[in-house]
Structure formats: structure tokens, C-alpha cells
Structure 1
């Protein structure tokens, strides 16, 4: 996997190429494709920034479209421009789930559950990483173990919950050891201060764990365990089985079945024109050959992988139109879509009833979040 330095260099190189090369297909004119777009993305140097740069360059070369990337290091900083229509698309991670569910910073009176839709999303891997000496290899092995935990790292914590649920466990079944940052939580394994932590396999710090005397192991989630996956998806609906071969302790010869999710997910407001989202989805899918070799992760943008559920939000109808044309939108995909639309609608309706009450009672901060959490749980329980 590229280092941060290599990713920054690649992003710069892609930008230089985009300026130097004219579009190679000027019959450009893919109906409905905007001539200019602004994409809200993660910081320069992130994998998401590099991926967006490569695809933006491809759209310029293939269709003459001009794309400006607007990087931000915060969840709100990426989502607010999309909400306010200062950015046409957001390249988002699990902040999308928090936004559509009204969780964490979005459990606030000026936010609440947002109405967003996805076009495509690259598959990514996540699981609990452990020291080999701990003996942890399955979700059930986590019971009673020291779990490195970062209270403010909501996007990691939300993905640990389904792994615990896979074995019928909760946070109360592990010994939480708090750390101030994601990097510190992973270093704790190397230093012997924790047994396990939630992590993406590509995290650079894990190479040091792999080479250390403590060794590295991944909690594997058996894809054939239907009950385990049902419990995991009840906890968080955007996860799926995923066979990972890239990352610390992993290879094509030594893969692991872990938890799949999507990052980045190309996101738009639900009200965006279906003709536009159809055209953007088609343009990204059909310029694949121009960006697939930009870095080792880019092949996962193949529409056969990136255009399937689950996602953190429902697909946009324009994207589904294109996926149907390709013959890859199945009855199972449509059932998932309908379930997500019902979930979105139920939460938005619950918020519309809750927000005026919260204002009249003067609720804010943690008090508001707790009250909304109870209302949200009731709305979701009514869907079951």
C-alpha cells in the first residue's frame, strides 16, 4: 500500500497530469454530465484524495469535465458543502452513516438525519486486530480482553460494534483501555498495553506490530455464519463479509475474512437530478481503464464491485438506472434499497416530530443526543 509520502506525490503527479494533458475524448458530451463539479474529499495525502484525483483526471480526459477537489480533515467540513450545495459530490466515509442516522455531531437541532444518496463506493476492509500472543482470532475470543478504545473516534467505534455483536457480545464484555488517538491505540498493541483494537489492515503502524515479537492476528468473521452476520448487520446495516488480501499480516496466499464496508462513497443530496447522477455514475464507470492503475487500490472501483450494496445510505435512482442497464442490479439489491429508504424515511419523520419538542424543552448537547437516541431506537424498532 502507498505510504503517506507516496500518496502525496501521486496526488501531485495526477494534478500535474490533469493540467498537462488535454481531454482524449472531446465528443464529450455525455448528456447530463456537468461540465464542472466540486468534490468534497478527505485531506491531501489520504487514500480518498488520491482516488478522487485519479478519477477526476480520467473524467477530464474522457469527457472534458472539470473537477475541483475541496479537501477537509473533518466530517462536518466534508458534508456541509454538499448540504449547502457548494460541492456537488462528497467522497465520504462513515460520517455519511452518522449524517443519515442523526448520530454524534449530527444529533443537533441544525442537523438531524440528512437525506443523502450514494452513486458508487469502493470496498474497504476493517476488523479487530490483535497481538498473536493474545490468542484472539474469532469474535468470541474478545470476551474479557483488553480493547484499545478512543472515545472520540466514532468512525472506528461504530465498526467494532458489529464485530462484538457477531459473537453476541457488547462493549461491557471487553475491558476498555482508553487512548487519545487512533495511532496511539495501535501502538498500545506493540507496547503490550492492550490486546486488540479496531483497525483497517492498511494502517501503517500495523506493519510494526507484524514485525514485533508480539506478532499480529486478525479477528476473522466466517462468511458462512448466517446468524453472526445477521447480528452484525442489525448492529450496523452497512457491513458485509469481505476477503482481504492487502495489509499487515495479509497477502494473496494468506487472506482473512473480515468485515467489508465502503470508503469513499460518492454522495449527493437525494434531490439531485436523476439524469445528472446517471451521467456521473456512467462516466466514472466507463472511464475505469483510465484510472484503474493509479494505485493498488483503484481496481476496487470497478463498477461490478463499487456499484453494489450495502452502503451507508441508499443509492440514488439515477445510479440505479445505470446499474440496471449494466444488468448488475439484482432483486436482492432492490430489496436492500427499499429497506434503506424505509429506514431513512422513518428516522427523518421521527426527527420532524422530535426537533420541535427538543427546542421547546431547551435540549442541547448530550441531553439532546440521549433523548434523540431513545426516539431513534423506537423508530427503528417499529420497522422490525
Structure 2
């Protein structure tokens, strides 16, 4: 495997060997920002893309640093672009991170599989749910059956996984229902408003959802059932949605406000070996200049240190970068409990990355192609995990911490 190179250099003060404590007192304007960096986002029209445009525009205006926003075609490309140095920061949701660490489907590539990345900043605490036509027949989870037509985006393990979770609630899989295959996030929504599909998994804060709401008949959202309504059904659903937090929607399309759905933490990841000074000063700038960008996009107020603290207090699902931890310590936010969970998450991640690297080396020695289409590689990866004592999904391993 090629060694991932760093494009960002240490600040002058760090090069001179100043202590962490001394640097902590340095003024933000003393930091020499890199001339250029790249932020990888979901597709144009998604909430996270719009948010990236908002905060990076303000950062450029205040610091002069040039930032390129690079929308990825799907969730598989985002971590791969981060690992191949095509991006310095990449949006990652916990469910996608779990799938990447399991190397499922499109993540089963040399650079798309398990890798040591860390949370640098929190982006959004995003509501995710099931969008239906406002004048359609689907009103509850239980209304979904074998005759239901779903929007299915196989190119996104996240979107496909959301639909599989809804179906699992009713004891179904995507093989049991009618599927309208879509190729991207926007089409995933459009097929519902066009009347070709009855339900899609998406977010009410996305631009595509606002557009859908303006169509004839409007849209509606299926409320998340109470666990006590059907404990077994809910358990099947939750097994496929580890890491979500149910709450009432407070920000999104008018049709979604007040609906009880799952919410997900969406964070900006960097490589573990990213320059700690850059990560520290990025989080510091975002915190100190929060008021300068929080109204530049409808949901930008969620990109705050308070949201990051909520993520930590709920039980972090991915490890944080050391630069971010340093800033949180200065703010008096980081606790011994956070550190204990961080240590466990780092060990879990580094063990998994080491296992993946060993598997890649074994595949290379046997002439096995690393690809989701390779049955030989799938068998090898399964064997390597079994030999290492891995019996659960990565999501469940995190859930056990």
C-alpha cells in the first residue's frame, strides 16, 4: 500500500518546537493556514454540501486560505478520496464509517476499506426518515408490505441500509418488494414525487426535500414507531440503524417539523496522521467564528462545538483527532469518560485497519483481486476476520463498548 502523504505542513511555531501549552495560548491570527485544502462532501443539493459552502466561504474571506469543495458521487468515494489524498477533510456518518470498517459492498476496495480516520469537527445532527407522497397511502411503518414500491440507491450503502431497516421492521428485505433503482441522492427523492416509488429514505433538511415539498400533493414523513408498539420489529429495525438517536424534528421541511424520527451525527473526518495544528486551529476557528457563518445556511447553526459535545456525551461512535481533543481540553469539555471511550475506539479502529492491511497483503500474495465482485476476496476477508475472532459487525462492536 502506498504511503499517504501529507500536504499540510506544521506551523512555524510547531517547527520551532514550542510546547503544547505555549501553543494553546497563541492567537488564531498567529497560525499560518495552509494555502489550500479540499473538503469532500456528499452531492450538490445535500445539506452537508450546502453547509460546507457556507463555512468555507467565510473561512476564505477571513483567512485567505483557498478551499475546494469536492462533491463525491456516492458514499463509497468519500473515504477513498480522503485516503488517496484527493481530499483533506471528508464528511462521514457513523453508519457509513461502520460499513467502511466492515469493508461491505463498495467499500471493499484497497483504499475504500478500513482506514484510520478521526473526527475533526461535527457537521450536522441530521434527521433521517422515510419520505412519502403527502396524498399517498403510506402513513406508518406497518403500512409497508410486499406490494410497496421503494426507492433503492444501491450505490449508497447508507441510503440502501436505511430502506433495508424500514423493510426489516416488517420482516422484509429489498428482494421482497418492488424496487425503483436510482443512481444518486437527488433521484432517490425524485422517484417518489414523480409517483414511481412510494417511499424513500432521505433527510428533511436536504435541498431535494424542500423541492419535493413544493411538488403537487406535497410530501409527508413516516413517524418512527415507539419501541413498545412491537419490540421484536423495532429490534430488527434498530439492528440496522446502530448509532441513531430518536428525536422530534425541529429543523427541516415544513412537513417534517414535529415528526419523531431518527437523527444521525454527521462529522468531518481527517486522516489520523493529519497535522494536529491544522485540526486544532480549524475547530478553534469554527468555534470562535460560529456567529459569522451560522446564518449563512439554514441549518449551519448545528455545526457547533455544542453539537460535538452532544456527540461525546451520547457516546462517541468514531474516535476524535488529537487536534480536536486538544481544543476540547482547552475549553474544559473533554472528560476522563470521553478519554476512556476514545482509547477503546482507537484500539478497535487500529486493530481493524491492521487486519485489513494483512488481508490485502495476503490477497496480493495469492493474486486475488480486491473488489466487491471478487468472491475469492470476500471469502478471504471472512476467513481473516474469523481467524482474528471477529464475530460481530463493527457497528455492534462499537455498541458493546
Q: TM-score, normalised by structure 2?
A: 0.71
| Distance across 1 between alignment mates of 2:52 and 2:189 | 27
- Give the alignment partner of residue 198 of structure 1, picking from 193, 196, 201: 201
Deviations 1:98-131 (A, max 9, x none): 5444333331245431111111222222111223
1:124 alignment partner, one of 114, 123, 126: 126
Equivalent residues, number: 352
1:154-194 C-alpha deviation (Å, 9 max, x unpaired): 331133344455x3745258514132334444344345443
Relative to 1, partners in 2 of residues 1:291 and 1:151: Cα closer, same or farther, differing over 3 Å?
same
What are the within-5 Å matches in structure 2 for residues 145-184 of structure 1? 145-164=148-167, 167=169, 169-171=171-173, 175-182=177-184, 183-184=186-187
Closer, same or farther in 2 for the Cα pair 1:224/1:179, shift >3 Å? Answer: closer
Note if contact 1:147-1:196 (Cα within 8 Å) is conserved in structure 2. Answer: yes
Contact in 1 for aligned 2:272/2:321 (Cα 8 Å) = yes
Q: Is the 8 A contact 2:363 2:377 kept in 1?
A: no
- Aligned residue for 1:370? 378
Go from structure 1 to structure 2 and tell me whether the alpha carbon gap of 1:30 and 1:349 turns closer, same or farther (over 3 Å shift): same
Greater mean alpha carbon deviation, residues 190-199 or residues 116-125? 190-199
> Which structure 2 residue ranges, 5 or more long, are not aligned?
1-25
Aligned partner of 2:72 in structure 1 is 73
Match for residue 274 of structure 2 among 272, 284, 293: 272
Partner Cα separation in structure 2 for residue 322 and residue 69 of structure 1: 25
Following the alignment from structure 2 to structure 1, what is the Cα–Cα distance between the partners of residues 226 and 264? 14
Matched, 1:318 2:326: no
Q: Residues 40 and 70 of structure 1 are in contact (CA less than 8 Å); yes or no, is this contact kept in structure 2? A: yes
* 1:289 Cα deviation after fit: 1.0
CA RMSD of superposed structures (Å)? 3.9
Asked if structure 2 preserves the Cα contact closer than 8 Å seen for 1:238 and 1:312, the reply is yes
State the shift of 1:327 in Å.
4.1
Tell me how far apart the structure 2 counterparts of residues 311 and 112 of structure 1 sit (CA, whole Å).
Answer: 21
Cα distance change on mapping 1:300 and 1:334 into 2, 3 Å:
same
Q: Which moved more, 1:138-147 or 1:221-230?
A: 221-230
State the match for 2:216 in structure 1. Answer: 212
Matched residue, 1:21: none
Question: Scaled by the length of structure 1, what TM-score is found?
Answer: 0.74
Residues 46 and 208 in structure 2, CA contact (< 8 A), matched pair in contact too: no
Q: 1:50 to 1:151 in 2, by over 3 A?
A: closer
2:259 corresponds in structure 1 to 256
Using a 3 Å threshold, how does the CA distance of structure 1 residues 271 and 374 change in structure 2: closer, same or farther? Answer: same
Specify whether residues 368 and 280 from structure 1 end up closer, same or farther in structure 2 by C-alpha distance, changes over 3 A only: farther
Whether 2:192 is the aligned partner of 1:186: answer no
1:358 aligned to which of 350, 357, 363: 363
Query: CA, structure 1 residues 219+176, in 2 after alignment: closer, same or farther (shift >3 Å)?
Result: same
User: Structure 1 residues 41-50 or 147-156, which shifts more?
Assistant: 41-50
Matching residue within 283, 286, 306 for 2:285: 283
Residues 109 and 41 of structure 1, relative CA distance in 2, 3 Å threshold: closer
Q: Which residue of 1 aligns with 2:307?
A: 305
1:141 deviation in Å?
Answer: 3.6
1:59 lines up with 2:63 in the alignment:
no
